[in-house]
Amino acid sequence: METETNEAAERRPIASRESGLAKRAATWLVGRRVSPNAISVSSILFALVASACLVATAWVDAVQTRMLFFLSALFIQCRLLANLFDGMVAVESGQSSKLGELYNEIPDRIADALILIGAGYAVGGLPILGYAAATLALFVSYLRVIGNSVGAERLFLGPMAKPHRMATITVAALYCAVVPAEWPGAVGSDNVYGAMNIALIATCAGCIVTSVRRITSTTRQIRSVR
């Protein structure tokens, strides 16, 4: 890993980054010499487990399905914690680097695709919507990166930026894990109207709106400097 410090890439504004608990956890990781790049890569592992849990819900009984939905929600949050701490550890340990930017972006894209595609194969989801959501999520992220490359800033716009996408899938998973089977979209309902399916439709629609907002913001910023 590069040890020289480069100018840090624009960071997503996250309120929890300023919390005392998050700062103490980051300090603990720095004290254990945990590499920020290793934390970034760990997000793929968490996403892979979350995706596997989602896919497996279609192959087990109702009780195990609920447990797997709960575990998927847990590992999605672990993925987000990895995304939170990699940057904090890099800054606190003075290991921010251009290589670190690659480790920050590439695992994110892989983790997004794993979770959204897995959601499509889960109980209450449709594979085509999982692939559509993953494709649109990649496009949304691409727009931020290409916008930054031409000088645009503050492109972490929603309504379906990464934290929002993961929150949507997490809520759907927890809903499936805890609500009675007779509730709308719960485990055992028709896949077309399943909670995971609804979450993926919301993700796709939100990504389209987010794409328009990011393109508009980038265009406006480019024109303002002429």
pLDDT at position 55: 98
Q: How is residue 224 written in tokens?
A: 């303002």
Nearest to 204 by CA among 146, 139, 155, 147: 139
Domains in the chain with CATH codes: 17-224 (1.20.120.1760)
Instruction: Give me Rg for the CA atoms of the chain.
Output: 18
Check whether the bond before 159 is cis (ω within 30° of 0).
yes
The pLDDT, as a whole number, for residue 23 is 84
pLDDT digits (tens), the chain, 226 positions: 333 333 445 666 666 666 778 788 888 998 888 898 999 999 999 999 999 999 999 999 989 999 999 999 999 999 999 999 988 888 887 777 777 778 888 999 999 999 999 999 999 999 999 999 999 999 999 999 999 989 888 888 889 999 999 999 999 999 999 999 889 888 876 666 899 999 999 999 999 999 999 999 999 999 887 6
Q: What is the pTM of this model?
A: 0.90
Q: Which of 156, 158, 169 is nearest to 201 (CA)?
A: 169
Q: What is the pLDDT of residue 3?
A: 38
Residues sharing a CB contact under 8 Å with residue 27, sequence separation 6 or more, in sequence order = 92
Give dist(CA 155, CA 144) in Å, integer.
6
How many angstroms separate the CA atoms of 1 and 197, rounded?
Answer: 40
Q: What is the pLDDT of residue 86?
A: 87
